[in-house]
Structure 1
Amino acid sequence: MDDIAAAAGLSRQTVYAHFPSRDALVTAVFQRLTDEVLAGLDAARLDEGPASAALRRLLDVSWQTFDRYPALPAPAGSADVDLHQPVIDRLTRLILRGQRAGEFDRYAAPGWLIAATIALGHAAWAEVVAGRMPAAEAAAAVRASVLRVYGVEPPAA
């Protein structure tokens, strides 16, 4: 909290006046990140066009937002689930639409696809934070991996 206060040009007491603990501050930052992702997803019109194109837009919007918050720790416990739920709801609709249209693997359970998408995103983010992978490379890896998991054929070369 001392480092955060110093970086913000505030006293430690001022930071604690707004956030009673480090966890409360991290949760507030994750809520802001989630709000930004949701606004971006809504602007990306996920219900329009081919589902595979919408999935690419979802991945791009999500990564662009994560890239603005490069060093955040993962949220703890139920906060992680609560913060993911609005994104999960949008992704579920997209998966079901893609499966009905034959664009996504019809035999893959939507819950599995969602879990894989989140896990791949977190793994890539962890690689960037650890300095083992540049952000652009991680974004491309997430995109390619998620599309494979969903059964989306790569574009013809």
Structure 2
Amino acid sequence: MTRSDARRSRASILDAAVVLLNEEPDPSVEAIATAAGVTRQTVYAHFPSREALLAAVLDRVTDEAMAELDAVDLDAGTATEALLRLLDTSARITARHRLLFQRANAVPVTPREDDERHQPVTARLIKVIVRGQRAGEFDDQLPPDWLATLTIRMGHAAAEEADAGRMSPAAADAALRTSLLRLLAAG
């Protein structure tokens, strides 16, 4: 197999895995191989375990998500408006990959790995929070990294409420926005 064939096979496997993991919680490697148009052995040649495949899928989805987040102009408008645009984009990404993210969140990770996984989002949040603190929109008595961490945790809580059926996705999103703006509000 040529290097370009191998790249195409890997890309096909990842494309198929993203689709299937967003449709069902635990597709078989055989199902992913079939959807990708390759053999099961080809999948294992690229990804030696299901965990390695899931990690590669998450990397792919994360790269795509970061590209979408990069398109959000964090410097336009007020910091509150920028934060809400960031939340809207994150909500669209999460909705598109809900099952995949649920599966990823079920895999135990160390606090350091969790921090690394969220670092690209955290950096964007901190940028907006610092801008809001400097402008007097957001509370400047709490550290920006703490407020970014709380924002991420609140986002997870909203998603968990929606996933458990205790709130509709729209109600969870509204509760997240209200809670977050109250948390960040300058006193």
1:25 matches 2:42: no
Count the aligned residue pairs: 153
Q: Which blocks of at least 5 consecutive residues in structure 1 are unaligned?
A: none
Give the whole-Å Cα distance in 1 for the aligned partners of 2:54 and 2:172. Answer: 23
**Residue type at the aligned position of 2:34:** G
Seen in structure 2, the aligned counterparts of structure 1 residues 139 and 12 have a Cα distance that, compared at 3 Å, is farther
How much identity, in percent, do the aligned residues show? 50
Partner of 1:149: 183
Query: Runs (4+) of structure 1 moved beyond 6 Å?
Result: none
Instruction: Note if contact 1:95-1:110 (Cα within 8 Å) is conserved in structure 2.
Output: yes
TM-score (norm 1): 0.82
Deviation at 1:2, TM superposition (A): 5.3
Q: Distance in 1 between matches of 2:164 and 2:30?
A: 24
Please state how far the C-alpha of 1:136 moved relative to its aligned partner.
Answer: 2.3
> Which sections of structure 2, spanning at least 5 residues, go unmatched?
1-25
* Greater RCO, CA 8 A, separation 6+: 1
Compared CA separation, residues 23 and 57, structure 1 to 2 (3 A): same
Question: 1: distance between equivalents of 2:83 and 2:28?
Answer: 38
Q: Is the 8 A contact 1:27 1:79 kept in 2?
A: no
Backbone CA RMSD of aligned residues: 2.4
Which protein is bigger by CA-based radius of gyration? 2
- TM-score, normalised by the number of residues in structure 2: 0.70
Matching residue of 1:3: 28
How far apart are the structure 2 equivalents of 1:7 and 1:132? Answer: 32
Find the residue that maps to 1:103 and give its secondary structure: coil
